[in-house]
Amino acid sequence: MRFNEKELVLLSRQPSERAAELGMRGPKKGDVVKKRLVKLVVNFLFYFRTDEEEPIGALLLEQCRVEREDSQTFSIAFLDEAERKYVFECDTEEQCAEWIDSIIKASYEFMRKNLIFYRTEIHRLTGKDPLEQYGISDEARFQVSNGRPLVARDTSSL
């Protein structure tokens, strides 16, 4: 599958508030923990060999399950395959919690839900649709029921 690699590599070099050296282990049997520079940019998790400019890979953080494995370790499972997880080892409990939090909130779907919530609430409180001023009221992506009812969802849809 073709993709805009150069542009994505450039994206990986943008400043990020969530970047650190973590121990990273792949999902396959036999994968070992390796030290990687892990960086969260928009809804992608990039990982680099320390001191290399180009990332080894990019993981799209949509439709994934982020879980606490133990006090300093978290995992990300994709494709509804609960057993195939990428595991990340942090230095402290606090760092681990921060990473989990950041990854969840980085998802586009999570942000979309927030937006829909605010839009609904602002309309309820003020009678006005806040997206009108930007001319985007009728964009499909911002609609209240875009295939689903407006209720809180469990984390598996993140």
Partner 1 sequence: MKLHEKILTHYLSCTSPVDKEGYLNKKKNRNDTYHRRWFVLKANLLFYQERPADRHLLGVIVLEGCAVQHSETDGHFTFSLVFGPGLKTYRFAAVDRQGQESWVKALHSASHCYLSMLVKDLARQYEEAKQQQSLGESHPSVSALKLPTNSFLFTTTQQTAVVREGRSFSASTLLQAPSIPAKAVAKKSPKLWTRRHAYVTPLNGPAPLYGEWPLVGFDPLEDFSTLHDYYGQEVKKAREDWLKSRQKEEDHTDQDLIDLG
Under rule CB under 8 A, residue 6 binds partner 1: yes
**Contact (CB, 8 A) for 33 and 41:** no
Q: Which amino acid is at 70?
A: D
In the complex, least distance from residue 23 CB atom to partner 1, rounded to whole angstroms: 19
Window 60 to 89, contacts with partner 1 (CB under 8 A): 60, 62-64, 78-80
Position 137 contacts partner 1 (CB under 8 A): yes
Q: Which of 22, 24, 58, 96 binds partner 1 (CB under 8 A)?
A: 58
Interface positions, 105-134, toward partner 1 (CB under 8 A): 105-106, 108-115, 117-127, 129-130, 132, 134
Burial bucket for residue 135 (CB in 10 Å: 0-12, 13-18, 19+) = exposed
What's the min distance (Å) between Cβ of 132 and partner 1? 8
Phi, psi (degrees; rounded to nearest 5) at 57: -160, 170
Q: Does 59 bind partner 1 (CB under 8 A)?
A: yes
Look-up: residue for tokens 């909130």?
105
Q: Is the dihedral of CA 58, 60, 61, 63 positive or negative?
A: negative
